[in-house]
Chains A and B, each alone.
Chain A
Amino acid sequence: MKWDISEMGSWTYKQFPQGAVIPEAGNSNDYITGGWRSERPWRNDEKCTQCLLCWIVCPDSSVRVADEKVTTFDLDHCKGCGICAQVCPTDAIDMVPEGCDLPEVK
């Protein structure tokens, strides 16, 4: 079931669910947390061996994978914690300050 919160701005205490229980699972996906980020991960495809360690450790499930290969980062939810860059065995991930141009692939 999709929880309809479109009118939430005009809800009173009567409309909010008892005990702040959200009657829908997994809706944290709708909440964009990427805006908290000060550094974004950038992956060098040439160095990457597709070991998927970054995908395993990402606390926000923000490493996107297709056909068992890392494709992109979900920047709507990545908070820029840098764990992926830290664990990468081939240093294929760099943390790049937000607001800067991404480096050229060498």
Chain B
Amino acid sequence: MPEHKTLAATGNTVVAEAMRQCKPDVMAAYPITPQTTIVEEYAAMVAKGRVHTEYVTVESEHSAMSACIGASAAGARVMTATSSQGLALMWEELHIAAGMRLPIVMANANRALSAPINIHCDHSDIMGARDAGWVTYFAETAQEAYDNTIMACRVAEHPDVMLPVMTTLDGFITTHSIDRVSVMDDESVSGFVGQYVPKTALLDLENPVMHGAFSGLGGPYFEFKKQQRIAMENARKVVKDVAEEYAKLSGRPFDVVETWGMEDAETAIVVMGSTAGNTRHVARDLRAKGERMGLVKIRVWRPFPHVELAAALKGLKAVAVLDRAESFGAEGGPLFLETRSALYDAAERIPVVDYIYGLGGSDVKLELIERAYKDLSDIAAGGAAPAGPVYLGAREEA
């Protein structure tokens, strides 16, 4: 059994530590707040000889992901990290990495997009990468960020998946706050992730192959997209299988949808990332006062766990979704759209209200979450649902 060591560390420190333990052959990265300390601490570990990774310093995130794609096609285990404008600058390469079926693992420090310029947490950056074809995890805590990184390596390289994986953690809140984290010894982690043996490597001179070919009009482009859809569907099972195996090692259970207080809940909040902690805190207080309220946390955003989410929300009287990103002109934020779609097949219609919150690091006060729960109990008591999306906590006329 592994040796566990408890650290007081930031999310970024333990993501860098998890990456070191996975022993990537190549890391090509560019620093950007609030991801910087991941690649900075990793570079220090390379310099000190604590890990044998070819560390490529590049001139932009566009180049970072391009170098990662080249290295991965060559047959290397590849990892990197980015955030916000950096992830946006990678946009075209994100699709290429997925289309070429390269198992790159990347951490994203979730941060707002310009303009106005802002370096603080929200999920706008990651939602811009929503349809790029990457398996995507969300972490509530530094512990989850550590665990997700190690599991990501196995999921990405699984022969039924072979897709890039993003593990996200909330900028500053999780990346920079010191948290209590249990890490495992190097041997246990490297034993768990194993060796990456690529099937089609450019550097395999005995079996020369061509990566990145053209597939134009009349070619099988459409069929390749179907393959990607199937790989992402396969990831549903692989994510769970890997998590089950990881739980035996780490002692920390995992589910794509995690619930709190849902046994007898009448209403619930659906949330992703660090705000799950605030929400649980409020729900605990309310339950102590006899309110039947629960929390549903999404840990895997792609593939979206619509079946598990619908099961968790079954029979509720009202549901609130906390969206830390906008989809201007849509009926609500991205998580709201997924949640309501997941509930479409439910036997009884459940009112779902969307709350856009915390954009650009806007403070997520407990009373704001209390307000959302209060709205839910009003709806459960027969009141009308507020017209969404509600900008929770934005300065508005009274």
**For residue B101, which residue of chain A has the nearest CB?**
A19
Q: Is A18 an interface residue (CB 8 A)?
A: yes
Q: Given A18-B101, A20-B100, do A25 and B224 touch, yes or no (CB 8 Å)?
A: no
Q: Given A19-B99, A19-B102, A19-B162, do A13 and B227 touch, yes or no (CB 8 Å)?
A: yes
Residue total for A at the interface (Cβ-Cβ under 8 A): 17
Cross-chain contact A16 with B220 (CB below 8 angstroms): yes
**Would you list which residues of chain B between 178 and 232 have a CB under 8 Å from chain A?**
199-200, 207-213, 215, 220, 223-224, 226-227, 230
Q: Which residues of B contact A16 (CB under 8 A)?
A: 220, 223-224, 227
Q: Which residues of A contact B209 (CB under 8 A)?
A: 21-25
**Would you list which residues of chain B between 93 and 122 have a CB under 8 Å from chain A?**
99-102
**For residue A22, which residue of chain B has the nearest CB?**
B210
Q: Which residues of B contact A28 (CB under 8 A)?
A: 210
Q: Which residues of A contact B215 (CB under 8 A)?
A: 20
Instruction: List 20 additional contacts besides A19-B101, A19-B162, A23-B207; criterion CB under 8 Å.
Output: A11-B223, A12-B223, A13-B224, A13-B226, A16-B223, A17-B200, A19-B100, A19-B102, A19-B224, A20-B99, A20-B220, A21-B200, A21-B211, A22-B209, A23-B200, A23-B209, A24-B209, A25-B208, A25-B209, A26-B208
A43 to B215 CA separation, bound complex (whole angstroms): 35
Chain B positions near chain A (C-beta within 8 angstroms):
99-102, 162, 199-200, 207-213, 215, 220, 223-224, 226-227, 230
Q: Which residues of A contact B212 (CB under 8 A)?
A: 20
Q: Is A6 an interface residue (CB 8 A)?
A: no
Q: Which residues of A contact B213 (CB under 8 A)?
A: 20-22
Q: How far is the CB of A55 from chain B (nearest CB, A)?
A: 24
Q: How far is the CB of A82 from chain B (nearest CB, A)?
A: 23
Cross-chain contact A18 with B162 (CB below 8 angstroms): yes
Q: Which residues of B contact A26 (CB under 8 A)?
A: 208
